[in-house]
Amino acid sequence: MQREIELFVTPGYANFIFGSSISGHRTNLFAMRRAIYPGSFDPITNGHLDIIERGCKLFDEIIIAILINPDKKPFFTIEERREMLTEVIKEIEHHSCRLIVEDFRGLLVDYAVEREADVIVRGIRAISDYEYELQMALMNRRLEPRIETVFMMPAEAYSYVSSRLVKEVFLLGGKIEGLVPASIEALMRKKPTGS
């Protein structure tokens, strides 16, 4: 049986333990850390998988949350993306971290609160990502101060890889090998829009 120890931590010590600003809160050393990794994942790239793998070193549970965006015409449907994600995450090193695939609509912070998540994970590839990500993180913090955004950097090899570029290169007949899992590339080729 797991014994739970409650501590009252000072702001600095809380940061040391959890790397987040839960300053002055009564906290629990064995509390489960649940993160949400949101995105369009249209399609999931090796860069996304790299972030998930890294996130597994920090969190006990990661919910990979696909945004349902009725304003966009996606390459893959939500159902297809959910299935694809569920399959490809089986291939990554996730230690004892539980990985869950879901979809959501509306405000991300509302969904995060509903799912009782502590953290939103976002990948930052280059400085160009930072400005938009900072705006989102600060807006999300304003809307829901209890939820922290954690930025993670993928391996350098994926620093230029995005779903948008992968689709563009693919649709123009370029090679996308190594940018997405082989199973995803195969599914892209089966699409009527694919080659």
Closest residue to ligand PNS using C-beta atoms: 39
Q: Distance between CA 67 and CA 105 in Å, rounded?
A: 6
For residue 106, give the 3-state DSSP assignment: coil
Q: Cβ(13)–Cβ(20) under 8 Å?
A: no
Residue 39 is a binding residue for ligand PNS (CB under 6 A): yes
Active site residue 163: yes
Q: How many CB atoms lie within 10 A of CB 21?
A: 13
Residue 40 is a binding residue for ligand PNS (CB under 6 A): yes
Active site residue 3: no
Q: Distance between CA 165 and CA 81 in Å, rounded?
A: 17
70 cis-preceded (ω within 30 degrees of 0):
no
Active site residue 48: yes
# chain residues binding ligand PNS, by CB under 6 A: 9
Residue 107 is a binding residue for ligand PNS (CB under 6 A): yes
Q: Exactly one of 34, 81, 122, 125 is catalytic; which is it?
A: 125
Residue from the set 108, 112, 161, 188 that interacts with ligand PNS by CB under 6 A: 108
**Binding segment (CB under 6 A) for ligand PNS, from list 25-33, 37-45, 49-57, 173-181:** 37-45
108, two tokens: 């991300």
Q: Exactly one of 48, 81, 122, 167 is catalytic; which is it?
A: 48
Active site residue 82: no
Nearer CB in complex with ligand PNS: 27/151: 151
* Closest C-alpha among 78, 138, 72 to residue 102: 78
Nearer CB in complex with ligand PNS: 20/162: 162
Residue from the set 36, 52, 67, 99 that interacts with ligand PNS by CB under 6 A: 67
Angle (nearest 5°) at CA 98 between 96 and 101: 155
* Closest C-alpha among 116, 119, 180 to residue 151: 119
Residues carrying an active site annotation: 48, 72, 125, 163
Provide the binding-site residues for ligand PNS, judged by CB under 6 A.
38-40, 67, 107-108, 136, 139-140
